[in-house]
Structure 1
Amino acid sequence: MNITREDIDNVNAVIKVLIEKPDYETTVEDTLKEYRQKSFFPGFRPGKAPSALIKKRYGKAVLLDEVNKVLSHNLTKFIIDEKLKILGEPLSNPEQQEIDWDKDDNFEFIFDIALAPEIEVTLSEDDKIDFYTITVNDEMIDNQVNYIKTQMGSNEKAEEVTDKCLIKGNFIELDESGEEKEEGIRPEDVIMSVNRIKDEEIKKLFIGKHTEETVIFDPVKAFDDNHEISHMLKISHEEAKELNSQFKYTITEILEFKKAGLNEDLYKKLYGEDTEVKTEEDLRQKLKEEIAANLLNSSERKFAVDVRNLLIDKVNPGLPEPFLKRWLKEANKELTDEQIENEFESFLKDLKWQVIKNFLVEKNELKAEEEETYELAKEVAYLQYNQYGIYNIPEEEIESFAKRIVEKPEEKEKLHFRIIEEKVIEVVRNKISIQNKEITQEEFNELLK
């Protein structure tokens, strides 16, 4: 076995791997012996076929498989041992000679590799980035208060139907003379939303009605939606398409949605029994802090993007673009040359950032600690509950959720990535000049365009 590396320039190199007969011969012979012991050929007892016959039948495949294993193992080991920071994967060199697996004993493989460029990242107070703090206004707080009142609201019994009501009742299909069909469609306890009735004249028939009163109408005309009619009348889609009948609907219950009131019971549901939120003023202040924290996340993401752009422009690592295009095509055979060209600049920018980030990680010995990973998993758990309007979550439930997250390797890897990314940004933050600017949400949105 002989492996050599020849540098073409600072980002391109060629690796030559020479695999000689002693590197694979013993394993190939042992494998063929196993094949012989397990083989069955007509005219020979099991396991007693001539070795020459076994070699003729299986020798080439076994040789090819073993040489590839030796190649893969030793190429990977060489890259690790030499501490080569490669980009992408090794590609077969265009000058690679065709191998004659029937005659050759020694095999030479030639690979092109791309090397991450040697870079230096020098930062000082001369490097400047703006940090944008988004101001929280009364409209944002009002919207959040209204959202909470809606989320925590409930349906309550009402005396009279309005266009905002839900009604529950029983359907009875009528015949052409307006009499009840004995074998007709008769679903019970059917809930309808009045505001979903598309025909305005039919909708008016319901407004002002009370429980035990009836409305005669055509559901097909009222809703103009076969799927909804099928679900409502508990019939098939085919039956719904053919339906042409009047129905009597008897109202058994009227429900009207009421938003939650702002009171201590609501505050405890939101923030727990021991909450310090006692009044509407307390709630608005709490919401202001929460909104500010969420907006700060947007500010931090914008800052991270600006840091990335600053460093890419400042360092601008030189990359082996021809090799990278070859590798992209090899790794993504479904992509056309035009697609690769169209997406290449974006790919190149991401790769430059990765090179810079790896340098800062190594230089500053950054890593994701287990405790940090677990705490971030808890944050993720809280946010997932919050998305559904659930705020007062027991700590043991959050901890259980977080443990399930970190037990999944792919999810844990995502958390590590976030932690390292944040630490890299923090390293930069501590070395450059930052000018804090307060702006409105609208102004901030314009910056993102």
Structure 2
Amino acid sequence: MNITKEQIDNLNAVVKVEISKEDYQEKVDKILKDYRKQANIPGFRKGQVPMGLIKKQYGKAVLVDEVNKLLQDNLNKYLTEEKLDVLGNPLPKQQENFDWDSENLDFEFELGLAPNFDVQLKTKKAVTQYKIVADKKMIDEQVERIQKQYGKLVSKTEVGKNDEVTGTFVNEAEEIEHKTTIELSKVKSKKATDALVGKKVGETATVSTKGLFKEDYLLPSALGISADKAEKLNIEVNFTIEEINEREPAALDQELFDKLFGKDNVKSEKELKSRIKEDSEKQFEQQSDQKLLNDVTEKLIDETKFELPAEFLKKWIQISGEKLLTDDEAKEEFEKSEKGLRYQLIEGKIIQENDLQVQFDELKEFAKGFIKSQMAQYGHMDPKEEELENIATRVLGNQDEVKRLSEQLMSQKLLDLYKEKANLKVKEVSYDDFIKEAYS
């Protein structure tokens, strides 16, 4: 067997593979002999079928199969040994009137080669790194929510503007009959508020569903209907009151602090606000980090210029899927995937040049941290090391989980690298301003 490469240009090459009869004949003969031993053909005893008949019936198929295996194994070996960085897979060139009976078989494969390029982490234009701070307004609102959540309900006889009212919404025509509890502070419609305030248990208020609540997601749950149905609903519903309560805020005392953070970890309202600020900003950091990762990615794609073997990739896309695509479909798919391919190449270059690797020990530690944070969400704040070790071992026994966690850990390594070496400008913003700037 002989394999040679013809370089067409920097991004395209053709590999030629010459296979002689000696490369495959011994294997083909062995397979045909095995076929002969097992063949059941009318008129012949098992194992006594003439070899000529076996060759006539199975010879071509076995030959093609063995040659294809030879091609695949040796072509992959050649690409590895020659360190050719190919995009997609080699594409066999069509050969008219190919003669499988020839002593020597010649094949040609088109290659699309990855481009050579440099990546500059210090981009020309700086990328904004948002530092989200919890401002006084946000902290005060969180304190208010905590007091409300841990407060006690005081029964009332008449609805007030800040009360919680339990009752049943009814509209027979729309088949709505649903018991729920609503907070009047979340009612947007002034007409609805006026209709409810002053009502007593057993009385009914009629309200319109259009613009009823300040947040759209509240309407479907209040009426017991789907979000799709609620989206365009504009009807009147009757709300019959069954219970009226005022939520008396919890006192900001040691009993509440211990309930929230454990005994004596927080001892004053000032410490409470400081802890809320710290915890909130930790959560915000995840969002700002994701935004930074996305923005650096976009900037690198924009500023790192290189050509791709576009025509080769379109041909490869055209034939590599479950069904053959038309030229226009292949072009459309290439245009949709080009940006992602460019970043894969850029990311691969960054990982290689900065020797970023995911080792198993650090993957296990990363998994433990992930597990610990999940357990904390369910109130398990201090799991034992043995417990974390056992759960992490089980998780890492699943290859899909290993892949997912490895990708997350590599993203974290890239983020740390960008924070160290990329051209960044830090900007402090409130959470509301971050949302406006980042997602406007």
- Match among 271, 280, 292 for residue 303 of structure 1: 292
Amino acid at match of 1:414: R
Match for residue 288 of structure 1? 277
Q: Secondary structure at the match of 2:42?
A: coil
Maintained 8 Å contact 1:165/1:193: yes
Deviation at 1:127, TM superposition (A): 6.1
- Match among 290, 293, 301 for residue 312 of structure 1: 301
**CA 1:145–1:49 in 2, change beyond 3 Å: closer, same or farther?**
farther
- Match among 372, 381, 392 for residue 392 of structure 1: 381
Deviation at 1:158, TM superposition (A): 8.4
- Cα deviation, 1:401-433, whole Å, max 9, x if unaligned, reads 433332222221232233334334444443344
5 Å-filtered alignment, 1:343-362, equals 344-362=334-352
5 Å-filtered alignment, 1:402-413, equals 402-413=392-403
Q: Secondary structure at the match of 1:7?
A: strand
Match for residue 444 of structure 1? 434
Maintained 8 Å contact 2:317/2:333: no
Deviation at 1:45, TM superposition (A): 2.4
Structure 1: 5+ residue runs without aligned partners? Answer: 168-191, 208-222, 228-250
Identity %: 36
- Cα deviation, 1:93-117, whole Å, max 9, x if unaligned, reads 2x5344343x234322211111111
What is the alpha-carbon distance in structure 2 between the residues aligned to residue 338 and residue 45 of structure 1?
56
Amino acid at match of 1:117: P
Deviation at 1:84, TM superposition (A): 1.0
5 Å-filtered alignment, 1:93-104, equals 93=93, 95-101=94-100, 103-104=101-102
- Cα deviation, 1:124-150, whole Å, max 9, x if unaligned, reads 596633322122124444565577678
**CA 1:415–1:43 in 2, change beyond 3 Å: closer, same or farther?**
same
- Match among 368, 371, 381 for residue 361 of structure 2: 371
What is the alpha-carbon distance in structure 2 between the residues aligned to residue 391 and residue 152 of structure 1?
20
Maintained 8 Å contact 1:269/1:392: no
Structure-1-length-normalised TM-score: 0.69
Deviation at 1:76, TM superposition (A): 0.8
What is the alpha-carbon distance in structure 2 between the residues aligned to residue 407 and residue 119 of structure 1?
38
Deviation at 1:288, TM superposition (A): 1.7
Amino acid at match of 1:294: Q
Amino acid at match of 2:295: D
Match for residue 85 of structure 1? 85
Deviation at 1:444, TM superposition (A): 2.4
5 Å-filtered alignment, 1:100-179, equals 100-101=99-100, 103-122=101-120, 128-141=126-139, 144=142, 164=165
Match for residue 178 of structure 1? none
- Cα deviation, 1:49-74, whole Å, max 9, x if unaligned, reads 22122222222221121111111111
Amino acid at match of 2:44: F
Structure 2: 5+ residue runs without aligned partners? Answer: 169-177, 183-195, 205-221, 227-241
Maintained 8 Å contact 1:91/1:113: yes
- Match among 307, 320, 323 for residue 331 of structure 1: 320
Match for residue 31 of structure 1? 31
Deviation at 1:394, TM superposition (A): 2.0
5 Å-filtered alignment, 1:423-442, equals 423-442=413-432
What is the alpha-carbon distance in structure 1 between the residues aligned to residue 272 and residue 203 of structure 2?
39
Maintained 8 Å contact 1:134/1:295: yes
Deviation at 1:18, TM superposition (A): 1.8
Deviation at 1:268, TM superposition (A): 5.8
What is the alpha-carbon distance in structure 1 between the residues aligned to residue 261 and residue 123 of structure 2?
43
Amino acid at match of 1:67: V
What is the alpha-carbon distance in structure 1 between the residues aligned to residue 286 and residue 225 of structure 2?
45
CA RMSD of aligned residues (A): 4.1
What is the alpha-carbon distance in structure 1 between the residues aligned to residue 27 and residue 398 of structure 2?
37
Deviation at 1:280, TM superposition (A): 4.8
5 Å-filtered alignment, 1:238-317, equals 276-317=265-306
Deviation at 1:256, TM superposition (A): 11
Match for residue 216 of structure 2? none
Match for residue 75 of structure 2? 75
- Cα deviation, 1:4-29, whole Å, max 9, x if unaligned, reads 11111111111112222111111111
Maintained 8 Å contact 2:126/2:424: yes
What is the alpha-carbon distance in structure 2 between the residues aligned to residue 266 and residue 407 of structure 1?
42
Maintained 8 Å contact 2:368/2:389: yes
Number of aligned residue pairs: 376
What is the alpha-carbon distance in structure 2 between the residues aligned to residue 264 and residue 34 of structure 1?
85
Maintained 8 Å contact 2:257/2:267: yes
